[in-house]
Structure 1
Amino acid sequence: MRDIAMEIVSLNVGLPQTIMYQGKELVTGIYKYPVSSSLHVSKTQLDGDGQADLTVHGGADKALCVYPEEHYAHWEQVLGQKMAAGTFGENLTVRGLLEYQVCIGNTYAIGDVIVQVSQPRQPCHKLAKRLDWVDATLQVQETGYTGYYLRVLTEGVISKSSQVRLIAKDEAGITVAYANQIKYHEKTNIEAAKRIAEIQALSASWKQSFLKRLAELGA
C-alpha cells in the first residue's frame, strides 16, 4: 500500500474561555493556538486542550479536530484578512489530506499514536462568532471545507514534526467530502444515506443523524 504523505503544519490547543459577543458572555473552546512542544494524546483529547460544550464537542469520537491548511487561502480571500493556524478551532492543521482524499474509517499513524477518521467536522455557531461572520457555518458547509474528526485508537505523544502515514483505508471508501455532499445537499439520496450509516467507524452522532433521516424518508 502506498503511503499518503500527510504533513502536520501546526499543533494547536486551547482551554475554554469566556468572551463577550454582542454584549453577551459566551464560553467557548474554539480559540486554539499553535504550540511547539510534544503533547500527550488521550482517547478524548490533547493535553492542554479543552471544549466548552461537551454535548457536541470532544469525547472519544471527536478527540482531535483536523483542518487542511489548503483551505486557509480561500477564507483569507473571502474575509480579506490573514488567519493563523488554529483559527477554525482545529487541533491539527495539516497539509496533503483534503476532504476528498480522506475516507471515514481510514486509520493513520501519527508518530506512535494511532487514529481513525470518525466524521466530517460539523461547524457550530461559535465558529461564526470566532470569525465575526454570521454566514461562516453555512459557507463552510456549502464549500465542503469542513475538516474532520479523529478518534484515538492508541494513545501516545505527538508533535508538529511527527510523521503521518496511512495504515489502512476503510473498505467502504466513503470520503469526508462525499459524506458532506449527502448530509447537506443530497438529502433525499436514500441509497447514499444507507451506505454512510453502515460505515462501522462512523461516529455515533452522525450514524444517528442518518438513521433518523432514513426513517423520515420511509427507508
Structure 2
Amino acid sequence: MSPRVRSTNLARPKPEPGGRPYLTGIDKRPVERLEVFEPGPHYGDGPGVVGDHVGDLEHHSGANKAVYAYAREELDRWGRELGRDLTDGWFGENLTTEGIVLEELLVNQQLRVGPHVVLEVSVPRTPCATFAGHVGEPGWVRRFAAHGRCGTYLRVVVPGTVRTGDTIVPLERPEHDVDMLTAFAAAMGDDAAGRRVLEAHCLPQMYHQRYVRKFSARA
C-alpha cells in the first residue's frame, strides 16, 4: 500500500481524566478534512489545526507540536493486545496514516501530504498521565514507552488542506541518521540514543539543551 492519510481527526473535548481543571483534546474523531497552518513557536500558542483543541497548554501545541500523526497499523497492533477496537484518532492523532512506518522517518524530514501541504517530522510524543487516563489500561505509560512506536509530531511548512486519502510522500532525507524511533528512545531515557541525538543536534534548541545538561552533569 502506498503511504496515505487514512483519517483526519479533530478533538472532541472532554474532562481531563485525572481531574485536572481543563478539558482535554486527546479524544479525536474523524472528519472529512483538516486545515493545517503554522502556529506560534511556543507551547501554548495553539495547535496547527483549525478547530482542534489542546487542554494542557503548558506542555503541548506550538510550532513543534502543530500536528500529530499515528499509524493505523499500530492502532491495530494495540487493539489486538488490549482486546479492544481502537478507532481512528483514539490515540489523539490528527492524522491516522497507513502504509508508512512513521518512526523510521528522520527528524526534520519533510513529507508532502496531498498535492500541496508539506509537513516536517519534529519531536516524539511522550506518554503522559492524560494519555494513560484516556486509554485506561494498567501501566500504560510504561507499556507504550517499551513498545517504542510513538508516532510523530509534525511542523507545518506549507499550510493547506489535508483530506482523507491524501498520499504521503517522504522528501529528501536530512544528513543525520536520527530517526523518530531513536528520538523517542532518547526521550524515554536511553543514554546511547540520547548521545546520538545530542551529536546530531537535530532537535529544536529547547530539546537539545536537555541533552546538553544531562550529559554535561556527568562529565
Please indicate the TM-score interval, normalised by the length of the shorter structure. Answer: 0.7 to 0.9
User: Where in structure 2 are the equivalents of 1:201-216 lying within 5 Å?
Assistant: 202-216=203-217
Say whether 1:31 aligns with 2:34. Answer: no
Q: How much has 1:42 moved relative to structure 2?
A: 1.1
When the two structures are superposed, what TM-score results if normalisation uses the length of structure 1?
A: 0.86
SS of equivalent to 2:26: coil
SS of equivalent to 2:196: helix
- The one-letter code sitting in structure 1 at the alignment partner of 2:126 is Q
Say whether 1:12 aligns with 2:13. Answer: no
Say whether 1:40 aligns with 2:43. Answer: no
Q: How much has 1:25 moved relative to structure 2?
A: 6.0
Q: How much has 1:206 moved relative to structure 2?
A: 2.6
Pick aligned residue for 1:179 from 170, 183, 186? 183
SS of equivalent to 2:104: coil
Q: How much has 1:217 moved relative to structure 2?
A: 2.3
Say whether 1:71 aligns with 2:74. Answer: yes
Assess if the C-alpha contact under 8 Å between 1:15 and 1:51 holds in 2: no
CA distance in 2, matches of 1:115, 1:29: 21
Q: How much has 1:23 moved relative to structure 2?
A: 7.1
Equivalent pairs counted in the alignment come to 210
Structure 1 residues not aligned, in runs of 5+: none
- The one-letter code sitting in structure 2 at the alignment partner of 1:168 is E
State the Cα deviation string for residues 120-167 of structure 1 (Å, max 9, x = none).
111211111111124212111110021110001111111112222122
SS of equivalent to 1:153: strand
Pick aligned residue for 1:92 from 78, 95, 99? 95
Structure 2 residues not aligned, in runs of 5+: 40-47
CA distance in 1, matches of 2:194, 2:117: 36
Q: How much has 1:210 moved relative to structure 2?
A: 1.8
CA distance in 2, matches of 1:191, 1:211: 9
- The one-letter code sitting in structure 1 at the alignment partner of 2:210 is S
